[in-house]
Structure 1
Amino acid sequence: MESKFQQLEFRELMSIPVRNGIYKSKEFHGRGCKIVNMGELFSYSRLNTSIEMKRVELSEKECATSLLNTGDLIFARRSLTAEGAGKCSLIVNADDLTTFESSIIRVRLNQKIANPAYYYYLFNSNYGKWLLSTILRQTAVSGITGSDLNKLIVPNPPRTIQDSISKLLSSLDDKIAINQKINCDLEQMSQTLFKSWFVDFDPVIDNALDAGNSIPEALQSRAELRQKVRNSADFKPLPADIRALFPAEFEETELGWVPKGWITTSFNDLIELIGGGTPKTSVEEYWNGDIPWFSVVDAPNESDVYVLTTEKNITTEGLNNSSAKLLRKGTTIISARGTVGKCAMVAVPMAMNQSCYGVIGKNNISDEYVYFQLKNTVQTLQQMGHGSVFNTITRDTFKNIKVPFCDEELTKSYSLLVKNYFSKILNNNYQNIALTNLRDTLLPKLISGELSLEDLPDLIKQTEAA
């Protein structure tokens, strides 16, 4: 990609020389300032140091030379994959004292002539990734060096143009981040309500307290917490018709104390499991169709709930000539092998590979109930394995998980209450896809100078108003 802008060696834009991160032995870990590891670099393209991180103790000299400032660029110095080497992130906020580990290179630009956000977007464009590939060194692992990074020839438009481009692209990323935060809050609210009803049995405790019934000793601490919530000024009781769906007493079962009248059953008895499949990769007619085909790489962020698009698509012919099945909207997919326990709800009809199960409720048990009960089951499996990663999920796994169950009507009442939350999450996901596509379309054209901001007056106005 040719750039219409002035070209300079990258080192000419830096205020101080590039620096590799620090290595500290184990006795210095667990206290001191935060440290950005490769996990944070790859998880957060625009990194705010207020997030939780590991900590490491630094000397005064190390503090003077190896801390991160707002506006610093950090690059992955090495990676197990060629695609990971050179990964660039921007420190958007460094309020907390934070350093960076030895596999990371820090670049601090002279902000009189270089806007860090502009160069962050440059190195995350296809052109920037190509530039980084020209200095990639292949040894035992893929990597780049600070000295090679210095010599890269990069475009250097006037600072005012850098600022305008960065403002436009950052506004799109900001809107994406806001939608993701809203999704996180909505998913958490839905999950909290599920736990309140189906795990902690708060409405049963409410009914028991109002009826003057005794609370089992094992549930006393929960009842005390619940009473504090009920006494708070902003407490809003459930509507009477929903509370009437819950009993006012508990009974002891093999699972402990559960609402009186609820059954203790295998989770497998509540759901229908659907297997997946892979069309023959050697048959071209089976692939690149219009049916999304899910594998674990397509799993969304937990808070985004829904999977809308997939890396690979299959054709109707591929579906009909394999064990893959078309899943209806609302089906929950859980990864059963490899990366185990990832859950996603299907937003559009799609198929999936054989490393996953599709899960729907029997007898009209609601989709949202199944989704959260499945996530709760994953947590149970992890606890049974003492927090370790379990290797596979089979049909027997679901048979061995026991859950207390109410009835279909209560699951529908739950879904009616969270339906608007899920709808908003889905709408935000679609909006983020549109915003991401717009950003990725504009990015290379703006970076190269092929497209000027004067060509985008309406979008600029929207950005300034945001």
Structure 2
Amino acid sequence: MVGDWTSSELGELTINFDGKRKPVKESNRRPGPYPYYGASGIVDYVDGYLFEGDYLLIAEDGENLRTRQTPIAFIARGKFWVNNHAHIVVGNENADTRFLMYALHNADTDEYLTGAVMPKLTQGNLNRIEISHPCLAEQRRIAHILGTLDDKIENNRKTAKTLEAMAQAIFQSWFVDFDPVRAKMAGESKESICKRLKLTPEILGLFPDRLADSELGEIPEGWEVKPLESVANFLNGLAMQKFPSYGLEDDLSVIKIAQLRIGNLIGADQASREIEPKYIVHDGDILFSWSGSLECVLWSGGTGALNQHLFKVTPKLNYPRWLCYFGIHHHLSYFREIAAGKATTMGHIQRHHLSDAVLTLPSIMNLEVISKPVQALFETVWKKHVESQKLSGIRDMLLPKLISGELRVPAAQDLVEDSLL
């Protein structure tokens, strides 16, 4: 331990509010604006709140206490409700609440857990966790450095989510509802259409001014109905247990549905790098789980091996990446309905469902121009993911060094400032 640091039990550094927690059955919850927290974060939104301010929530039970696929401690802010699956504390006069969160991220808590089947962290054992810490002022400086990175990552997440929603809305308006065509047919002026639908005159000019009959009903004149499989390649992964790793230099993390859900490679199995390159996933690839939990993501969790039950989706011809991504999302509810209907097996879809799911598209030449606004939004979303991945790496490198006192604040501050330039 560093000379000017000391060790204390968590109970000596916190004020506990577990007595104010109150679980509410899902059937008794009334929808509202306030987050309802459980062991791993927000589980619902309700019409009332128990707490107001900044508090540290710590998981009380659940397998995540052992696997740590998501943080076991996190800050809840504002007005919110907490059930009885999360402890709730704040730092006392000797401790900064956010510093304690980071200290718990770095702490080995396995010896404090009980329960052979379902891990549990009782309040008594929570209070016994040993925390190494400097003076309060230094705690706040450490928390500020790590918090600056986390805040930037969260801002990137919110920005990416907003931009993705905007791109999704454009896709729906132009390629599903055909709003520019319908506006032309209604006699709306070009200026009004461009302003209302956020189009340039050049792009508006590429939309026809009438609809024509098709197998799907009315679609823009001159456009074609194309199945998803003609727009993108869907590469199914391998049974990676057949390709075991033979050592650290041969390790390649396996991307399964679990990794897809959490967006990183924490807890991933390892496979050999001696697989065909097409089965290696890189940041920026579109991944689509076709069984179990059907999800489609723009992967940014690091290089890995594509496991079975996942498709790596790549554009065919000159179709843009965003079209593959939003095309799948457009049909995701349909795919999930199919999977949910398979009561006797693990829910999944089959290849022919990718042919049954169709998109209505203009010519490749026109699509290239029409898609420019969506492409710009999509690439910005991707850049936010890439930046967040970089910042997460810096935070994960700094956290154990700062929390242990191995690295001092001035040196860490320089690293963070350089990363944010």
Deviation at 1:28, TM superposition (A): 4.4
Deviation at 1:101, TM superposition (A): 0.8
Whether 2:293 is the aligned partner of 1:339: answer yes
Cross-structure match for 2:210: 249
The answer for the alignment partner of 2:328 in structure 1 is: 374
> Structure 1: any 5+ residue segments left out of the alignment?
45-51, 58-62, 213-226
Residue of structure 1 in register with 2:378 after alignment: 422
Larger radius of gyration: 1
User: How much does 1:405 deviate?
Assistant: 3.2
**What's the TM-score once normalised by structure 2's chain length?**
0.82
Alpha carbons 1:4, 1:448 under 8 Å: kept? no
3-state DSSP of counterpart to 1:398: helix
Report what 2:72 is aligned to. 87
What is aligned with 2:124? 147
Q: Which amino acid aligns with 2:40?
A: F
One-letter amino acid matched to 2:126 = L
SS in 1 for 2:112: coil
TM-score, with length taken from structure 1: 0.75
Q: Match for residue 23 of structure 1?
A: 23
Find the counterpart in structure 2 of residue 230 from structure 1: 192
Aligned equivalent of 1:75:
58
Tell whether the 8 Å contact from 2:112 to 2:121 is kept in structure 1 after alignment. yes
User: What are the equivalent positions in structure 2 for 1:84-163 lying under 5 Å apart?
Assistant: 87-91=72-76, 93-94=77-78, 96=79, 98-110=80-92, 112-125=93-106, 128=107, 130=108, 132-163=109-140
Which residue in 2 is equivalent to 1:60?
Answer: none
After superposition, where does 1:283-362 map in structure 2 within 5 Å?
283-285=244-246, 289=250, 294-299=255-260, 311=268, 317-319=274-276, 325=279, 332-344=286-298, 352-362=306-316
Supply the distance in 1 between the matched residues of 2:88 and 2:240 (Cα, whole angstroms). 45
Q: CA deviation at 1:2?
A: 7.5
Task: Provide the residue aligned with 2:414 in structure 1.
Answer: 458
Counterpart of 1:272 in structure 2 is 233
2:179 counterpart residue number: 202
AA of the residue aligned to 2:192: R
Distance 1:169 1:450 in 2: 15
Q: 1:139 deviation in Å? A: 3.6
**Residue 278 to residue 287, structure 1, CA distance change in 2 (3 Å):** farther
Deviation at residue 178 of structure 1 after TM alignment: 1.7
Unaligned runs of 5+ in 2: none
Q: Rate the CA distance shift 1:236–1:342 in 2: closer, same or farther, 3 A.
A: closer
The RMSD of aligned alpha carbons is 4.0
Deviation at residue 291 of structure 1 after TM alignment: 6.8
Q: Quote the residue 2:369 is aligned against.
A: 413
Residue pair 1:345, 1:371 contacting (<8 A) in 2 also: no
Aligned-partner residue type, residue 163 of structure 2: L
- Give 3-state SS (helix, strand or coil) of 1:134's partner: helix
- For the residue of structure 2 that corresponds to 1:78, the secondary structure is coil
* Alignment match, 1:54: 45
Identity of aligned residues (%): 21
Contact 2:259–2:265 (CA<8 Å) still a contact in 1?
A: no
| C-alpha distance 387-341 of structure 1, shift in aligned 2 (>3 A) | farther
- Which moves more between the two structures, 405-414 or 192-201? 405-414
Q: 1:167 to 1:351 in 2, by over 3 A?
A: closer
Say which of 422, 433, 438 aligns to 2:394.
438
Structure 2 distance, partners of 1:108, 1:136, is: 21
C-alpha contact (below 8 Å) 2:402/2:408 kept by paired residues: yes
2:223 to 248, 253, 262: 262
